[in-house]
Amino acid sequence: MMFALGVLVFALGIGVSIALHEAGHMWTAKAFGMKVRRYFIGFGPTIFSWRRGETEYGLKAIPAGGFCDIAGMTGMDPVTEDEAPRAFFRKPTWQRVIVLSAGSTAHFIIGVIVLYVLAVTLGLPAATAVAGDISCAAASVNPATGVPTPCDASVPSPAAAAGLRAGDEIVSVAGTPTPTFLDVATVVRQHLGPTPIVVNRDGQLLTLVPDVAPVMRLAAGAKPNDPTNRLESVGAIGVGPKDVLEYSPLTAVPGTAVFTGRLFDMTWQGLLRFPQKVPTVLRAIAGEPRDRDSPISVVGASIIGGDAAEQGQWLRFGLLLAALNFFIGVFNLLPLLPLDGGHIAVNLYERVRDTVRRRQGKVKMPPVDYTRLLPLTYAFIVVLGAVSLLTITADIVNPIHLK
């Protein structure tokens, strides 16, 4: 029951995001005096609609997006005599760029609001290397599971002996910056004996010198549940990460800003890895285990949202919704038609071209002929449609589930 409710609520969240995306275009267009003919959620046959002022609002049968019909989006679009003075292409370039980017801006605002609400209610994952559990440094681990063997808790860990406290932000280890806790673990593994660690404690930088202990840990290339996994000697200080940071309504502002920056970086890195991850989707459809880092569709995201709700992991639910909004916002700004970013690129090109011609004493050229760009536009639509079909298929036959 909770799974179905989670899927429904997550899908509703996506629908609201799409509606606000198109509303961003509409509100900014109206603010600049452009004529907005229609604002619809969905595609296909109209379920219902109504007219308010000069704009028709409505809902269509296929919930796969939405659209905002602004008069004269290009110089080739037919406009009536009454619409001509208010046509999109007749407005200044800066106004057109704002209208075109308003959809992505709406997604970014939604994402930030979701993160802020999470920060003041459930907390946010630590965006930096914040110390959490401080305990003894286990001498070894189980080769099959990687679970540390029991150690004598009466013996203080190197971290505790050096004065490290839960909540300290580990800035560097042995002079190497450690922006994430993974960086801390990686650098500590490479050292033994007294090793300087710089921490930020309540805004004050302190240098601690734990005596890094030699321990046995899984070597690179270890496989899950394989008792033959090789162990290697590395360094450890007995500290774990603080998974979630709690905030007040005031401290949540900078906390949200920091985490937003981290999410933007992760989104961009995900986009760069996207092409090389497509083959993993094909293999998943063929029956191979699904790569948890493979691309997913809104169907897959909704399934994960359902899992999060069923398991009571509402922080994950909210983070997924925020991350999806950031991804859609960034993706939509790529300079490819028919994305908003493609239209922005065309408008900026026209602006630069006309500025150069004006300085050369030449007359202004007419708007870009979009028909010349149709082959590239159709090619991108075909590729995007194929990838969407593949990810949706994989999310149905071999979905990613939260463990």
Is the entire prediction scored with pTM above 0.95? no
d(CA 378, CA 221): 43
DSSP class of residue 1? Answer: -
Q: Are 137 and 157 a contacting pair, CB within 8 Å? A: yes
Digit-by-digit pLDDT tens for the chain (403 residues) are 788 888 889 989 999 999 999 999 999 999 999 999 999 998 889 999 999 999 999 999 888 788 999 999 887 888 898 888 999 999 999 999 999 999 999 999 999 999 999 999 999 988 788 888 888 887 777 777 777 878 766 666 888 888 888 889 999 999 999 888 888 888 998 999 999 999 999 889 999 999 998 888 888 767 767 788 888 888 888 888 888 888 999 999 999 998 999 888 888 888 888 888 888 888 888 888 887 778 888 888 888 888 888 888 899 899 999 999 999 999 999 999 989 999 999 999 989 998 888 888 888 888 888 888 888 889 988 988 888 898 889 888 888 887 6
Q: How far is the C-alpha of 158 from the C-alpha of 194, rounded, in Å?
A: 9
Q: Which domains does the chain have, with CATH numbers?
A: 1-9+92-125+246-403 (no CATH), 131-242 (2.30.42.10)
Cα–Cα distance measured from residue 53 to residue 56, given in angstroms and rounded to the nearest whole number: 8
Please report the DSSP string for 178-192 in residue order.
-SSHHHHHHHHHT--
Distance CA 88, CA 370 (A): 15
Per the CB < 8 A criterion, the answer to whether 53 and 134 are in contact is no
Going by C-alpha positions, the residue among 28, 19, 167 that lies closest to residue 92 is 28
Cα→Cα distances 350→36, 366, 373, 376, Å = 23, 9, 14, 18
Catalytic machinery residues:
22
| Single-letter amino acid code for the residue at 293 | D
Contacts with 142 (C-beta within 8 Å, 6 or more apart), sequence order = 148, 149
Give the span between the Cα atoms of 302 and 323, in whole angstroms.
13
Task: Kindly report the backbone phi and psi dihedral angles of residue 5, in degrees, each rounded to the nearest multiple of 5, phi listed first.
Answer: -65, -40
